[in-house]
Amino acid sequence: MVAIKIEGLSKQYRLGRKQKSYRTLRDSAVDAFTRSFQAIRSIGKRTNGGEQIPSIWALRDISAEIREGEVVGLIGRNGAGKSTLLKILSRITDPTEGHAEICGRIGSLLEVGTGFHPELTGRENVFLNGAILGMAKKEIERKFDEIVAFAEVERFVDTPVKHYSSGMYLRLAFAVAAHLEPEILLVDEVLAVGDASFQQKCLGKMGEVAETGRTVLFVSHNMGAVTGLCNRAIWIDNGSVMADGPVDDVTQQYLRSFSSGSFSHVNEAFEFQVTSVVIRDGRGEPSFQFSPGDDLVVEVGFRADKPIKDPYIWIIVDSVRGPCFAANTLLDGSAPQMLEGEGRFVCRFKSIPLLPQSYTIRMGISALGGKPLMKQQEVASFSVVGDLSEYGFKGEYQTRAARSVPVMIPYEWVLSDGSVVSMDLRFKQGMVS
C-alpha cells in the first residue's frame, strides 16, 4: 500500500518576502487542527498588482511513491530542496503546483522544537503534540515516561520550553515524534545537532521505528547513516529528482557527482564566497585517485568582500559507512584571525590510512559566535585504489577488508608463539600469514 504519493510537486518562493511575526498559541492550535489531513492542495502563482515578483523554484515537478514500511533517504546538497519537500509533506507550507496524498498519521522533526509552543512546559507540549497527531490522552500517558526518559529532561519537564537549551529542545522534540507511534516519520538532519551519544540514540530509535513496519523519510548528509538505515534513496538536486532507487546505487551516483571539483558557495549576508574546492596529491597536482598511505590535500579558495573575524573551519572525510577522520580549527586552535579579500586555505592529511573505497569530503565554515558562513555539506569526492595483496591482504581477506571499517592505522599482533605480524598501509608489504 502507498503511504505517500507525490505528483508534479513544485514550490516557488518569492524573493524578499517578509517573514511572518511570532504567532500566539491560539493561532498555532487553530492552524494545526484546521489543516486537511488527507491531501495537500495546490495554490496558484501570485503577483503584486500585476507586477511580476522575483522568485525561485525550490522544487520543480517532483513525483514519487513511497510504500508503507519503506525507509527512504533524501540526499542532496544544501539548498537542493530536501527540507522544502518535507515541509510540504508535513503541511507546514503549501505547494505552488501539484499535490501529495498522505495515507497515515505523520510525526515530523524538521527543525529544533518543531511543533512546540515556547510558553508551554515540556509536559504540556508532549500532550499537545500527541493530541495534534490524533492520539488519545491514555495513549500519551502510557508513553509519557518513556518519552521523558529518552529525552533526558526529567528535571525540567514542568519548565516552559522557552528556557530549554537547543539540545534539550531537540531531544524532547525527537522523543515525541518517535514515540507517539505515527505511521509516517519525517526526520530532517537530526544528526546535525546534539552530542554523539544522542545521535546514536536517534539512529537506534529510527531503526526500531523502521522495524515495526512504519514509513520513514530521512534527510541527512551522513551517507553512513543513510546507507545503514535506509533501503532506498532519492537524490534531489536543484529541486529535481536526479536518481531514485536502491540506497547503495543512488548514494554512489551522488558521491560521484562531486568529482568535478567545481563546487562553489555564496553567502550574501556575509558577502562571502567559497570559490573552489580542489583535491590535490602530495606533489600538489589535482587528483581524484589516491593510494593507501598517500597525502591528501584539500585546497579551498575563498573571497570575502568584507572582513570576517575569527572564523573556524572543519573538514571531514567520510566513507559510505560514516565519518573516518576530520580536521577542525575550533579544536586545534589554528584558525585564521581574519578572512579578507581573495585567498585560500589548505589542509593536508598526511599518509591517509584508508583502504581502497570511495570517499566524500564534507566541509563547514562559521564566523565568530557560530554564525554559518557555509553550512556543513559535501564539497568533493575521491577514491583510494590499490591491490590489497600488496599490503598483506590475500585471498578471502581482501573481500573482508572491502566490507570493513575503512580506516586502518598501523598496528601489530604478537601471537602466542612469539611471532609478530605488522600492518601498515603506508608501505607495501606481505606480512599476513
pLDDT tens, residue by residue, 220-229: 877 767 877 8
Contacts for 338 with CB less than 8 Å, ≥ 6 apart: 307, 308, 309, 310
Residues 325 and 417 in one domain: no
Question: Has residue 123 been placed in a domain?
Answer: yes
Identify whether residues 208 and 269 lie together within a single domain: no
List, for residues 31-83, the tens digit of each pLDDT value.
Answer: 554 444 334 443 444 445 555 567 889 999 999 999 998 999 999 887 788 98
- The answer on 217 and 201 residing in a single domain is yes
**Statement to judge: residues 37 and 127 lie in one domain:** yes
Domain boundary among 256, 290, 324: 256
Query: Which residue, 234, 256, 278, sits at the end of a domain?
Result: 256
Whether residues 377 and 395 share a domain: the answer is no
What pLDDT is recorded for position 116? 80
Same-domain check for residues 167 and 212: yes
Quick one: average pLDDT of 210-239? 85
Q: Are residues 124 and 243 in the same domain?
A: yes
pLDDT of 195: 58
Residues 320-333: what's their mean pLDDT?
Answer: 85
Looking at 206, 233, 256, which one is the last position of a domain?
A: 256
**Domain match, 120 and 240 both:** yes
What is the grid cell recorded at 74? Answer: 533524501
Output the pTM of the full model.
0.65
Report the number of distinct structural domains present in the chain: 3
Same domain membership, residue 138 and residue 246:
yes
The answer to the question of residue 418 being in a domain is yes
Q: What angle in degrees, to the nearest 10, is found between the helix axes of 166-179 and 122-132? A: 40
Round to the nearest angstrom and report the end-to-end CA distance of the chain. 53
Which residues are within 8 A (CB) of 61 and not within 5 positions of it... i.e. 6 or more apart?
8, 9, 10, 97, 98, 240
Structural domain boundaries, residue 279? 265-384
| Residue 55 lies inside a defined structural domain of this protein | yes
Does 338 fall in a domain?
Answer: yes
Together in a domain, 355 and 212 = no
Per-residue pLDDT band for 85 (boundaries 50, 70, 90) equals very high
Query: Are 371 and 401 part of one and the same domain?
Result: no
